Structure 1
């Protein structure tokens, strides 16, 4: 069996539909790394805005989980929705500052009042998505593979990770004190999203491989900047064998599929 990890989508239903047609994904189990919602329609150098369809993305992911037994992890943006639906004011305000106000309008919520938003997320037609997001796990793993939205804190074992780190951590997961890649101490190949590769490197093909040295077990960052405003922003899919060897890499930008 192969496993295909799919990075941050951010409402790009059109790109996701194209990606799912890639040959490498047809007999592979899919692991979605979170951040299905929010996103920007602007793209550097483009005249027309890119379409955003949050509910279409969620419908696709829900179908994959229910009909194909694929895995969907929770991302930090998805957690905004989840916690706001529970009435958490801090999550509501953080979401508002990170694209929430525009997202609410796309969801049919024409208010920035926290109580109004909370009620709408718990009523039809949005409540089914709220219930789905409420059930999503933070991690997925096998003997050789580990998937998480953001990363881990190296100071703690996997069974003692803090929720906020799994959803939010960046540099302490990526780098050592001298800004070289941190050594992977888990014994597993790790795949994460959360930070667009464009923010880390200007020449990355949608994916960054991180190794402290040739003997270090690799980690992969596959947030390809979907709906981030980057000219080359898209959705990346990394297909690995059961032991972590790279089988295929696919990337969709503006509905065009690239294969490697």
Structure 2
């Protein structure tokens, strides 16, 4: 059976529109700001009639300054709505924690303590004792709810799960093979790994994603992964698309 779909080498962005897709930030405000400066410099020196900067999610957790990342993105979108922000599993995990403090949830287990610290809140868990609630966590949760501005909560709630331009489909984690792009599950869009990564065929569009860290941006026939472990390795990557021209951009900072 012949596989139908778009190959990366043949994929094109919309005519007259430059695209930039930025990988997982995870609290690295320094790298996000540096990437924006690089993109702004490109647009200034080689203007395009239109553009979109697409952020692929996971703005919070693990790195040192999630609060500043969210503030930066809110301001960027306010300044120009062509700055597009998609949801990552960690962004949804922060919302879930603010709603209900689960000591075993994603937020507490994978970097939420650093996120809370960026808001000036120390989170810890004392465990439970004969079924009694964790008072240390409850206290920290209440402090964090007070410390996170409503504008930040509204921003996290506003995030879309996917967007598409030209021959490219953008999401945080990937898609489930065999399911039309327009009916993908939000859960898959922010969590999927193996079934997506291991699919040998082409997809209806080239999938541009993050979520799974790689040492350097991974360009495949059917997908592009731009999660280069920015929070720890100090490298933030993006895919730049201008018609049929595709490039990987990187900015470097200190490793943690």
Tell me what 1:5 maps to. 21
Q: Return the alpha-carbon distance in structure 1 between the equivalents of residues 143 and 152 of structure 2.
A: 11
After superposition, the Cα gap between the structure-2 partners of 1:209 and 1:123, relative to the gap in structure 1 and judged at 3 Å, is same
TM-superposed CA distance for 1:129, in Å, is 0.9
Q: Return the alpha-carbon distance in structure 1 between the equivalents of residues 164 and 140 of structure 2.
A: 34
- State the Cα deviation string for residues 206-227 of structure 1 (Å, max 9, x = none): 311111xxxxxx4211011101
After superposition, the Cα gap between the structure-2 partners of 1:25 and 1:60, relative to the gap in structure 1 and judged at 3 Å, is farther
The SS at the match of 1:197 is coil
Q: 1:190 aligns with which of 207, 210, 219?
A: 207
Q: Return the alpha-carbon distance in structure 2 between the equivalents of residues 144 and 24 of structure 1.
A: 22
After superposition, the Cα gap between the structure-2 partners of 1:14 and 1:158, relative to the gap in structure 1 and judged at 3 Å, is same
The SS at the match of 1:123 is helix
**Number of equivalences:** 220
Tell me what 1:220 maps to. 224
Tell me what 1:66 maps to. 78
Q: Return the alpha-carbon distance in structure 1 between the equivalents of residues 43 and 174 of structure 2.
A: 24
Check the 8 A contact 1:4/1:25 in 2, yes or no: no
TM-superposed CA distance for 1:59, in Å, is 1.3
Tell me what 2:8 maps to. none
**1:84-99 residue pairs with structure 2 within 5 A?**
84-87=97-100, 89=102, 93-99=105-111
Q: 1:164 aligns with which of 179, 182, 187?
A: 187
TM-score, normalised to structure 1, is: 0.76
Q: Which has the higher helix share?
A: 2
After superposition, the Cα gap between the structure-2 partners of 1:102 and 1:60, relative to the gap in structure 1 and judged at 3 Å, is closer
Tell me what 1:16 maps to. 32
**Which residues of structure 1 form unaligned runs of 5+?**
41-51, 177-181, 199-205, 212-217, 256-260
**1:54-203 residue pairs with structure 2 within 5 A?**
54-69=66-81, 70-87=83-100, 89=102, 93-112=105-124, 113-176=136-199, 182-186=200-204, 188-198=205-215
- State the Cα deviation string for residues 21-75 of structure 1 (Å, max 9, x = none): 21335553200001111125xxxxxxxxxxx211111111111112111100011
- 1:239 partnered with 2:243: no
After superposition, the Cα gap between the structure-2 partners of 1:144 and 1:117, relative to the gap in structure 1 and judged at 3 Å, is farther
Q: Return the alpha-carbon distance in structure 1 between the equivalents of residues 211 and 144 of structure 2.
A: 24
The SS at the match of 2:105 is helix
Greater C-alpha radius of gyration: 2
The SS at the match of 2:123 is coil
Q: Return the alpha-carbon distance in structure 1 between the equivalents of residues 182 and 101 of structure 2.
A: 26
The SS at the match of 1:74 is coil
After superposition, the Cα gap between the structure-2 partners of 1:140 and 1:67, relative to the gap in structure 1 and judged at 3 Å, is same
Q: Return the alpha-carbon distance in structure 1 between the equivalents of residues 237 and 203 of structure 2.
A: 25
TM-superposed CA distance for 1:124, in Å, is 4.8
